[in-house]
Every structure is written in C-alpha cells, then in structure tokens.
C-alpha cells in the first residue's frame, strides 16, 4: 500500500513539474492559437442558411421555445431522448429566437471548446507514465498541432455549420471532457474532484447523443494502455471512476426508452436490414478515411445505397476486417499502437456496425473519430522528422504544420460558403450524387418555395423515378404539376400517393383542389369527404367542401358545411361572408385555395 501511494505521489509530482516548467506564454498562447485558427476558418459560417432538418427541429419546433418543454421532445423527433441537446437549443432560442447567426455562433463556440478539450487530452496522454520519456518534452507542441489541424479540418463542417448537427459536436465536447477529467484523475492516482467531473460530463453526454455510450470503454482503454498497464489493475485502482461511468449507461437506456427513434434507427427498419447495413459499412469507413486524408469533395446527403453484391462489399469488408482484427489483437495484448485505431473503431461502433440507421453515411459522424486519425498522422510525422538533424526538425515541422492548417482552413472556409444558400447547397449535392432521391426532392422544394415551379418539376420527377413508392415525393410532384397547370398529371400523382398513404389528409385535400379547378365537382366532393375522414377538424376542408356544394347546387349542404367551419374556427371571415351570401341567395364561390 505505501508503495502504491509513493507511485501516485511521484506521478502527481511529475505532472506538477511538467505544468510548472511550461512558460506562461505557452499555457495561454496554445489555446489562443487554436481558437484563432478556428475562428478564421469558420468566420463565414454565420451567414449559413437553415437546411433541411433545421426547419422542423428549430423553426417549427415549439418545444425549444421554453426550457421546461425542451426536455419533452416527442418520440421519433430529431431531439427525442436527447434532453441536453434540446436544452441547448432552448437556451439559444431564448437569446436569439430564430436568428440563424446566433445558432451558428453557439455551434462555433462548442467546436472551439471541443478543440481545447482535445488539446488537453492529447497533452496529458503524452505525459502519461508510459509515454512520458518519449514525448513529454514535445507534448505541448504535438497537442497543439493535433488540435489545430482538427479544428480547421473541412470534414468537421457538417457538424459545425449544419445547425441541427450540434448534437454531434456537443457530444464530442462532453466525450473529450470526460476523457480529459478521467486522465487528470489517473495522473492524480486517487479519487478526486476530477473523478466527479468525469462522471458528470459522461452523464451530460449521454443526454446529448447515443454515441456517448462508448466513452467508458475508451476511457478504460486509455487507462489500461497508458497508466495502469492492465485492464484489471485499472478497474481495481479506479473502481469509483468506472462505476460512475458505467452508471451513466442506465441513464442512456432510460432516455432511449422514453424518447424512442425506431423510425430512423433499429432492427425494425424497412429500408435496410442489419445484414445489409453491416455489409455496407466497410465501404463507408474507407470513404471516411479517404475524406480525412483528402477532403476535397464533401457531400451534405450521400443517399448511400446498401451494398447488395459481393463485388460491392467484399474488398472493403476484407480490408476493414483485417484492420479490425489486428487492432483487436493489439488491444488484447495491450500494445500501445492499438490505442488510436481502437478509439477510431469504438467511437464509430454505434453508427458503423450492424445496428441499422436510415442514413448509411453522414460526414458528421467523423467529428470525434477524426481526432484519432490526425493524432496518428502527427505522431508519425514527429517520429519521421526526429531522424533528421536537430537543427532541421523545428523549421520543417513548423512549416509543414502551418501549410497543412492553411490548406485545410481554406477548404473549410470554401465549404462554409456552400451553406449560405440552401438552393446552391442542394444543387451542389445533386451534382455530386445525381441518383440521390432525397437530394433531388430537397432541391425541387427549394425551387418550389421560390416560385420557380417549372424548374422543380424535373427534379421531383427524378426523385419519384428513383423511389416510386415514396408517397411524399409523389405528393410534392403533384404540387409541382398543379403549380404549372398540369392538372391531370397532378391528379395522377396524388392518386398514386393515396394508394401508398390512404390515411394522409393532405393528399385527399390537394386532390380535391385539383378536381375543383378542373370543374370535376363530384370528384372534388368525394376527395374532401375522404380528407375529413382523415382529419374531421380540418376547417379548410369543410370550407372547400361547402364551396363545392354551392357549385353543384346543393345550398343546404353548403350552409351546413359553412356552419361547421365556424364551429371549428369562429369568426372565419370567408365562411361568414359565404353564409351571408347564401341568405341573400346570390352568387357562388369563385374557387378553392390551392395546395
């Protein structure tokens, strides 16, 4: 026992000595430099538009308008089971309401804080007992290079500039803070305030996004390889830390149970099976690695297809399996080199294994795993340059690092500009992935919202061609046809959509509008009646039905429908005026509002 206390005392003293030997300009200058390059790279992110999920998760989400309701996001929504993420949006709304610049500013602050946490994790890890002799003298420089490259890497733009993906950067922050506090606890060698902070950060992360489930495993791996040199010793020596981290799993289970997301993730999905997802992920992982090395072509929405033939998945599967097996062997044998690849695989495990998710590939999932790749590259470069004459090491390493940061920051700045206009962003996405039905539909919707109806039609048509059983695409195509006065084609699109989703109110309602404009009043009546079966309290459908009754000479039914409108929406001026005209027995309604 005295021997153990002596060892921990030596560890603490060594850490204190390393801290006291660090000049003041380094303690302050390092974090400032990281923040500076991060701000420069993202200086144009504040003009970013609301994109896709941002609308229903922020602009149309009444739950974030109060901190009390933020914790009750409805099941299947973007924020279900993620109360910390929801609370962050509620706090942002309280400060900025719907001003997008405020949301982008908060996202950037989160990203910078995560970079600072990464700086601390890398520096403290390199000062661990196992690595101290080799890297302690260069720990600050290596940590600065890693965090600087990570904060400006273009692959991070989706997690930072795409507002709703704050959940990824925020969980990355909590993940890194958990690791940092745990490593400080390991340096201390005993239970301390850092232990408590690690558990609190882990709990916060569990309430942010499900990927946090891997944090306790990564923490144990760091401990066993860099500090305790044994999994058993790590668990016994810091049992309170791991007991607290493991307890956070129960919190995550409770959050997932109360905020299910079974429509977008899980084994019950119709879009992709567990086997299909598993076969596709090796190709996705290799694509992630390619983007980490050469992030030239970034895509908002890949629409990645499930790998179905051995030609598509066999080679990537063999490559990733070989890497995974080698890493697993290294972890089992407690080889130092296995720490970074194991961290990469562990963090990606929830989204890149066999648990199906509707979207097979998204760049924001690389937010945290990218750190392992960058640190591996920095350490490899350090070891390579260490073979050069001492006088040449510093200028070459500094020049290489600055050039890399400048190149990555420039690409990040250019990528942020794509987010300034949703129409431009979706146009770029369609150019990159022309067979992505969702991207086609999103681009067409942007055209439709800007009254460029004719330009929306071919993209909706292509979306339907790619996914003919998607009733939403058929509905949008029907709307576009209606806007360009192609009423019969609009009717056909709505009828096909109704075959797929007969319960959907808007399909019947819009079909009724088309029939009305085509003067097919009896069919319009039938469509409005079916719409009201889907939603009996839809006053607009009652109003259009009343108008149609007037057109076919059924005034009593029209009057009854108008009175029902006023029951549902008292004081509705158009219904009041129509009833007044009925009493005067004059005229009929001019038409019904369009879809």
Q: Are residues 334 and 371 in the same domain?
A: yes
158: CB partners within 8 A, 6+ apart = 165, 298, 300, 362, 363, 364
Location of structure tokens 């307890």: 247
Structure tokens, 58: 């922020």
Give the model's pLDDT for residue 585: 65
Asked if residue 594 and residue 477 are part of one domain, the reply reads no
Is the residue at 523 inside a domain?
Answer: yes
**pLDDT at residue 2, as a whole number:** 40
**Residue 517 structural domain:** 502-595
3-state secondary structure 397-423: HHHHHHHHHHHHHHHHHHHHHHCCCHH
Q: Are residues 243 and 94 in the same domain?
A: yes
Q: Are residues 335 and 371 in the same domain?
A: yes
Q: What is residue 445's predicted lDDT score, i.e. its pLDDT?
A: 95
Contact, 185 vs 195, CB < 8 A? yes
- Domain-terminating residue out of 498, 523, 540: 498
Residues 572-589 have pLDDT tens digits of 999 999 888 888 865 444
Rounded (10°) angle between helices 555-568 and 573-584: 150
Residue 16 lies in a domain: no
pLDDT over 70, % of the chain = 94
- The per-residue pLDDT for 80 is 85
Instruction: Name which of 476, 484, 482, 483 is nearest 459 in CA terms.
Output: 476
Inside any domain, residue 378: yes
**Considering the domain boundaries, does residue 293 fall inside one?**
yes
123 and 184 housed in the same domain: yes
Q: What whole-number distance in Å separates Cα of residue 545 and Cα of residue 560?
A: 10
Ranges of residues in the chain whose predicted pLDDT is under 70:
1-21, 585-595
Residues 445 and 359 in one domain: no
What per-residue confidence (pLDDT) applies to 14? 47
**234: in domain:** yes
Q: Point out the domain boundary residue: 450, 474, 498.
A: 498
List CB contacts of 285: < 8 A, sequence separation 6 or more: 316, 320, 348, 352
Q: What is the pLDDT of residue 315?
A: 96
Output the CA angle 67-69-75, nearest 5 degrees: 130
Q: Is residue 587 part of a domain?
A: yes
One domain, residues 445 and 541: no
Please, which residues bridge with residue 357 across strands?
Answer: 265
Residue 59 included in any domain: yes
**52 shares its domain with 160:** yes
8 A C-beta contact, residue 68 and residue 44: no
Instruction: Tell me: do 290 and 184 sit in the same domain.
Output: yes
**CATH number of domain containing 514:** 1.25.40.10
- Boundary-marking domain end, from 481, 498, 515: 498
Residues 513 and 559 in one domain: yes
Give the pLDDT confidence score for residue 6 in this predicted structure.
Answer: 46
Same domain flag for 540 and 468: no
pLDDT digits (tens, 9 = 90+) for 279-309: 999 999 999 999 999 998 999 999 999 998 9
Q: Give percent of the chain with pLDDT exceeding 90.
A: 78
Cβ–Cβ < 8 Å for 340, 375: yes
Encode burial over 147-173: b for 16+ CB neighbours within 10 A, e otherwise: bbbbbbbbbbbbbbbbbbbbbbbbbbb
Q: Are residues 123 and 208 both part of a single domain? A: yes
Of residues 136, 227, 142, 225, the one with CA closest to residue 183: 227
Q: How many distinct structural domains can be found in the chain?
A: 3
Per the domain annotation, does 24 fall within a domain? no
């Amino acid at each position: 026992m005295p021997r153990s206390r002596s060892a921990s005392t030596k560890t603490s003293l060594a850490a204190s000595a390393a801290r006291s030997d660090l000049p003041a300009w380094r303690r302050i200058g390092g974090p400032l430099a990281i923040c500076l390059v991060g701000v420069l790279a993202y200086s144009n992110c504040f003009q970013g538009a609301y994109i896709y999920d941002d609308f229903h998760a922020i602009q149309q989400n009444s739950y974030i308008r109060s901190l009390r309701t933020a914790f009750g996001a409805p099941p299947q929504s973007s924020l279900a089971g993620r109360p910390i993420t929801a609370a962050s949006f509620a706090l942002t709304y309280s400060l900025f309401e719907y001003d997008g610049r405020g949301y982008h500013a908060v996202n950037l602050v989160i990203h910078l804080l995560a970079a600072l946490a990464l700086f601390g994790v890398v520096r403290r890890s390199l000062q661990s007992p196992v690595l101290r002799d080799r890297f302690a003298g260069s720990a600050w420089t290596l940590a600065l290079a890693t965090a600087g490259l990570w904060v400006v890497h273009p692959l991070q733009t989706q997690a930072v500039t795409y507002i709703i993906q704050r959940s990824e950067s925020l969980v990355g922050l909590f993940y890194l803070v958990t690791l940092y506090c745990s490593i400080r606890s390991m340096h201390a060698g005993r239970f301390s305030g850092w232990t408590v902070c690690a558990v609190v950060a882990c709990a916060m992360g569990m309430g942010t996004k499900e990927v946090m489930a891997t944090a306790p495993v990564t923490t144990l791996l760091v401990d066993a390889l860099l500090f305790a040199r044994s999994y058993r010793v790590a668990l016994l020596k810091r049992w309170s830390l791991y007991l607290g981290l493991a307890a956070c799993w129960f919190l995550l289970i409770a959050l997932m149970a109360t905020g299910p997301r079974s429509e977008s993730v899980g084994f019950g999905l119709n879009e992709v099976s567990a086997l299909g997802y598993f076969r596709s992920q090796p190709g996705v992982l290799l694509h992630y690695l390619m983007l980490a090395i050469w992030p030239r072509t970034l895509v908002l929405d890949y629409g990645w297809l499930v790998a179905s033939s051995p030609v598509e998945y066999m080679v990537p599967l063999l490559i990733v399996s070989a890497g995974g097996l080698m890493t697993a062997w290294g972890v089992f044998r407690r080889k130092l080199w296995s720490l970074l690849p194991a961290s990469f695989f562990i963090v990606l495990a929830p989204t890149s294994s066999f648990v199906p998710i509707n979207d097979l590939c998204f760049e924001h999932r690389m937010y945290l795993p990218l750190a392992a790749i960058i640190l591996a590259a920095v350490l490899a470069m350090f070891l390579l340059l260490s073979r050069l004459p001492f006088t040449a090491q510093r200028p070459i390493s500094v020049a290489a690092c600055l050039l890399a940061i400048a190149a990555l920051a420039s690409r990040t700045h250019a990528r942020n500009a794509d987010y300034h206009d949703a129409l431009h962003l979706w146009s770029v996405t369609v150019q990159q992935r022309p067979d992505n039905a969702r991207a086609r539909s999103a681009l067409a919707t942007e055209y439709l919202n800007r009254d460029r109806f004719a330009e929306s039609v071919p993209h909706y048509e292509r979306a339907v061609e790619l996914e003919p059983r998607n009733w939403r695409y058929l509905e949008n195509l029907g709307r576009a046809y209606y806007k360009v006065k192609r009423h019969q084609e609009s009717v056909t699109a709505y009828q096909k959509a109704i075959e797929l989703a007969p319960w959907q109110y808007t399909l019947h309602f819009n079909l009724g509008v088309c029939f009305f404009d085509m003067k097919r009043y009896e069919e319009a009546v039938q469509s409005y009646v079916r719409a009201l079966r889907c939603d009996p309290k839809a006053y607009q459908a009652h109003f259009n039905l009343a108008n149609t009754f007037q057109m076919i000479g059924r005034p009593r039914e029209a009057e009854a429908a108008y009175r029902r409108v006023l029951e549902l929406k008292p004081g509705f001026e158009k219904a009041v005026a129509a009833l007044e005209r009925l009493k005067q027995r004059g005229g009929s309604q001019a038409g019904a509002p369009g879809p």
